[in-house]
Amino acid sequence: MPTLLEPTFDWLDRHLLRSPAARIWIARRLSPRFIDRLQRAKFHALVRYAARHSKFYRDSFRERGIDPRRIYSHADLGDFFTTAQDLKTRPIEDFLCAPGECGFETTGTSMGVNKRVYFSYQEMFDYGRDGAAGLYNLGLRREDVVLDGFDYSFWNAPFTAYYSLIPMRCLHIIGGFIEPKELYDRMKVYRPNVLMGVPTHMVRVTEVAEKEGIWPVKFMLLGGENLSERTRAYIESVWQGSRVFLCYGQTENFGMSGIECPQKGGYHVSGLSLVSEIIDPDENGYGEMAYTTLNRSVMPLIRYRSADITRWASNGDCDCGLKVMPRIDKVVGRTDELINCSMGNISPFWFEEILRDVPAVSNDWQVIVRRGERDDAVEIHLELNNGASHEGIRQQVLANIESRFPDCWRYYTKGFFALDIQFHPRHSLAGDGRKLRRLIDARRDAWSQ
């Protein structure tokens, strides 16, 4: 049954809760029970709206015998999900409930078709208010100077930053994804004390700053790809006194699935604009995240499989301004990046852990799994920092596998897989691509030859 809760809250949200400080003040006082009730009301309204206006949802619900009038939660949808495959194979018009005003594409690693997602300006403003609350929670204030180095080509990360900064009203300098030395030289005059960008680019900018000098930076907010703890520690060590935070998002969700807690214990996800779920968690709680976008009217996604693997964060309760919002742990990989091989069910997270304290190699690395003579052959490609000893690194990598992944070590000592560590000069692995594909399963190619 429709209630007044959802339209009333939306009105309050847009008109009275525009300032980030007010949003955090209110967020601190919301009860989990209220959030749950609001989520159910919004979810119910959204499912009915999508069934009326989107061909994809109308057809899918009809085929599965789902009656939108009876749906209040993900559980009510049984085994129905929206998948990346749906976005790739169906025309975008099937998903649209209203005309789009801004269109973006996913930067995904899979070949061929990019997923397209459309938004209205109103939706981007709405996301921006949540983003601003997240930034305020990390310490951003009106008097700060922000510089962003995002690439504008087809993806929405820079617009996520842009709309999140509008309610903050601080000075925002748009540097863009330009050559790191040029970005450093040009931003220097503004003395930005908050930096935003993608990890691989900001690492390069940090390398320049390490040589040429730093200024006080309050924090950095990085997103668009994963950041290993060793990279985070490196950036923080150069920009002394700065803290590096991550946001987690996808183009499908305007890059706004979650923002890191100031205590770094995972990402807070907005319970007011998102219903989130971890599908089929394993014994450690890890599973694929699925979500529904509650505040969208152009192209809402219902129970969308994100392909990102994470779990609910459990490491103690935080006391930040977003403490009532659910928190997810670091994303350990994507379902399409997990490779099941004789080394184990490996993910990029494994190699981040293995290389975490190996300072002689750079942050660009790649792992290729090939079909060996009998079992799999795993190649780890590393970039050497400055003429470090190959043998020393090899020993350190093996020692880390032994201490951090004992099962994997057992398989190795029994000869279940071959391990080949190959060394390359700096900056040779990433090439021109924005994202270095961390894990490559080359066995499939071998089969098809």
Q: What residue ranges bind Zn ion (CB under 5 A)?
A: 261, 318, 320
Nearest distance, CB of residue 139 and Zn ion, angstroms:
13
For residue 418, give the 3-state DSSP assignment.
strand
Q: Which is nearer to Zn ion, 136 or 350 (CB)?
A: 136
Q: Which is nearer to Zn ion, 108 or 266 (CB)?
A: 266
CA distance 31 to 25: 13
Q: Which is nearer to Zn ion, 261 or 369 (CB)?
A: 261
Nearest distance, CB of residue 257 and Zn ion, angstroms:
15
Would you give the DSSP letter of residue 115? P
Q: Which is nearer to Zn ion, 318 or 384 (CB)?
A: 318
Nearest distance, CB of residue 316 and Zn ion, angstroms:
10
Radius of gyration (C-alpha) of the chain in whole angstroms: 23
Nearest distance, CB of residue 260 and Zn ion, angstroms:
8
Tokens representing residue 356 in the block? 């975490």
103 and 254 Cβ atoms separated by less than 8 Å: no
Nearest distance, CB of residue 223 and Zn ion, angstroms:
17
CA distance 174 to 151: 10
Sequence-ordered list of residues with C-beta below 8 angstroms from that of 208, at least 6 positions apart, any chain: 180, 181, 184
Q: Which is nearer to Zn ion, 138 or 209 (CB)?
A: 138
Sequence-ordered list of residues with C-beta below 8 angstroms from that of 95, at least 6 positions apart, any chain: 54, 56, 57, 87, 299, 301
The two beta strands, 376-384 and 219-222, are: unpaired
Query: Read out DSSP for 304-352?
Result: EEEEEEE-B--S----STTTTS-EE----EETTT-EEETTEEE-HHHHH
> What is the enclosing helix (H) or strand (E) of 104?
strand 102-105
Q: What is the four-CA torsion angle of 193, 194, 200, 206, rounded to 10 degrees?
A: 10
Phi, psi of 290 (to 5 degrees): -125, 145
Nearest distance, CB of residue 219 and Zn ion, angstroms:
15
Tokens representing residue 251 in the block? 């183009």
Q: Which is nearer to Zn ion, 313 or 440 (CB)?
A: 313
Nearest distance, CB of residue 161 and Zn ion, angstroms:
21
Q: Which is nearer to Zn ion, 8 or 315 (CB)?
A: 315
Nearest distance, CB of residue 245 and Zn ion, angstroms:
11
Q: Which is nearer to Zn ion, 279 or 318 (CB)?
A: 318
CA distance 84 to 29: 36
